Structure 1
Amino acid sequence: MKKILLGAAALAAMAAPAFAADIPPRPYAKAPAYTAPQVVYNWTGFYIGGHVGGAFAGDNSLQGSDARFLGGVQGGFDYQFAPNWVMGAEAQYSWLPNNNNNGVLFPGGTLVTSNTDQLGSVTGRLGYTWGPALLYAKGGYAWRDGNNLGVSVAGVPQGFTTNGSHKDGYTVGGGLEYMFAPNWSAKAEYQYYNFGNTTFTTGPADIAGRSFRNDEHTAKVGVNYRFGWGGPAAARY
């Protein structure tokens, strides 16, 4: 019996390499390449921010041609859909220096000065986004502090009347906004304000019956903090 067991063990030892040789080698599998996560930008949500820039009166305005500094705040809400379109609403308020030195001197010696030191607007906004960039147009209601007119001849104030204060008007504009960090975006925009025409119904002879446009061209840069719904950006793998 002992000899039989020893013989069987010897046969098994001799057969093991032959069976191992018949097993095919495991094929080599290359590790999958690393794919960086795709960042998906989300413009949906509320935001607040501030801006600075300059204001320039139109050619037929009583503001004069000098540029004036402005600064202010804004806030609004955006909704992204379909999937690269963004629509929303924004309220904006700007302050300008209170300076009545600009004006128009008429041939008869009458000097008319005008000053707008506050501008506001409530607008709708529609834009197209690709990645972190948003190109948009805006338009809606505009307001200003009033028609702060002054009329004088040789430094002496003169009486006058106009056809209204022209405090309310409209605004249109557009710009580019860029999401440069989580919850933060920067923008540059142009905005035009129009408050209609002011007509002098009475006053010195060289201005009585004359009509002038009340408008402002503005250029602004600003920064917004975006609260978002779930954050302004997410990683997609």
Structure 2
Amino acid sequence: MKKFLLGTVALAALASPALAADMPARTYTKAPPPYTAPAVVYNWTGFYIGGHVGGAFTDGNNLMGSDARFMGGVQGGFDYQFAPNWVMGIEAQYSWLPSSSNNGLVFPGGTVVTGNTDQIGSVTGRLGYTWGPTLLYAKGGYAWRDSNNINAAVGGVPVAFTTDGNHQNGYTVGAGLEYMFAPNWSAKAEYQYYNFGKTTFTGGPSDIVGASFRNDEHTVKLGINYRFGWGGPVGSNY
């Protein structure tokens, strides 16, 4: 029995090199690289609509006084991204303002003059620089407001007067920062200045004839926009 076992072991030892020679060589397989998420690419090109709230105030040389007034409104526009971090576009904006709480200007002869602007709008071009989801921009263009609601009274009784125009049309400039916080959604903070020139009284009670005042508004707004189509990050699951 021992001889049989020894013979079996010897035969297996002789056969092992031959079997190893007949086996195919093991092929080397490179391990796959670790997964990396695709880079997020933000695209500002496209149409958008949105709304805003904020405040309007003057420097005191205005019939509205220097009291801040609430404002709210809507906006819409189109942006185009190029070169590749620059964005240019056009925007239309419309805002409502409540009646001014200012009691008006009292002239030496006792004439009290009041005024109010309760609607204001603009059509502007804008140019900005973007890095990732952030856009810093400047804007400027045409401004419009509702008819110049001026009233004059002596002792509480309305009196007739004339001015050199209603000054409904003017210009506007501003700047802002916009941030794309979700696909197709962005939020912005913006300062915008509106100027409609000066109004001069050309007729009426003697104490107001020749007097003039500025027609301007300083505004600060917070807004949100919904961007159609191309807006938002591309290349990620964000």
Matched, 1:219 2:220: yes
- Say if 2:42 is the partner of 1:50: no
CA contact (8 A) 2:64 2:100 kept: no
Ranges in structure 2 where 5+ consecutive residues have no aligned partner = 1-10
User: How many Å separate the matches in 2 of 1:118 and 1:196?
Assistant: 17
| One-letter amino acid matched to 2:41 | V
Per the alignment, residue 201 of structure 1 pairs with 202
SS across alignment from 1:185: strand
Contact 2:80/2:87 (<8 A) preserved: yes
Q: Is the 8 A contact 2:57 2:66 kept in 1?
A: yes
Q: With the length of structure 1 as denominator, give the TM-score of the two structures.
A: 0.87
Change (3 A) 1:45 1:131: same
Whether 1:13 and 2:26 are equivalent positions in the alignment is: no
Q: Percent of aligned positions with the same letter in both sequences?
A: 73
Offset from partner CA, 1:23-61 (integer Å, 9 cap, x none):
6x8778554233222110000000000001111023321
Does the alignment pair 1:146 with 2:147? yes
User: Partner letter of residue 16 of structure 1?
Assistant: A
Q: 1:90 to 1:102 in 2, by over 3 A?
A: farther
8 Å Cα contact 1:43/1:228 also seen in 2: no
What's the counterpart of residue 181 of structure 2? 180
For 1:135, the equivalent position in structure 2 comes to 136
Could you tell me which residue of structure 2 aligns to residue 112 of structure 1? 113
Task: Report the Cα offset of residue 201 of structure 1.
Answer: 0.6
> Match of 2:235, as an amino acid?
A
Aligned amino acid, residue 129 of structure 1: T
Gaps of 5+ in 1: 1-8
Partner amino acid, structure 2, of 1:76 = G
Report if the CA contact (8 A) 2:94-2:122 is conserved.
Answer: yes
SS in 2 for 1:189: strand
Amino acid at match of 1:211: S
Contact map agreement 2:54 2:222 (CA 8 A) in 1? yes
User: Residue 44 of structure 1 contacts residue 232 of structure 1 at CA under 8 Å; is this kept in 2?
Assistant: no
Task: Report the AA paired with residue 13 of structure 1.
Answer: A
Moved more, 208-217 or 97-106: 97-106
**What is the alpha-carbon distance in structure 2 between the residues aligned to residue 14 and residue 137 of structure 1?**
82
The corresponding residue for 1:5 is none
Alpha-carbon distance between aligned partners in 2 of 1:64 and 1:32, rounded to the nearest angstrom: 67
Q: How far apart, in 1, do the equivalents of 2:28 and 2:16 lie?
A: 27
State how far apart, in whole Å, the 1-side matches of 2:154 and 2:101 are.
Answer: 15
Query: Taking structure 1 as reference, are residues 14 and 68 closer, same or farther at Cα in structure 2, changes over 3 Å only?
Result: closer
Alignment of 1:235 with 2:235, yes or no, is yes
SS at match of 2:186: strand
SS of the residue corresponding to residue 40 of structure 2 reads strand
The equivalences for 1:69-88 within 5 A come to 69-88=70-89
Q: How well do the aligned residues superpose, as a CA RMSD in angstroms?
A: 2.5
Q: Offset at 1:155?
A: 1.2
Q: In the aligned structure 1, how far is the partner of 2:12 from the partner of 2:218?
A: 102
Provide, for residues 83-135 of structure 1, a one-character-per-residue CA deviation record: whole Å limited to 9, x for no partner.
Answer: 00000000000011134644222233221100000001000010000000100
Q: Number of residue pairs matched?
A: 227
**C-alpha distance in structure 2 between counterparts of 1:136 and 1:193, whole Å:** 17
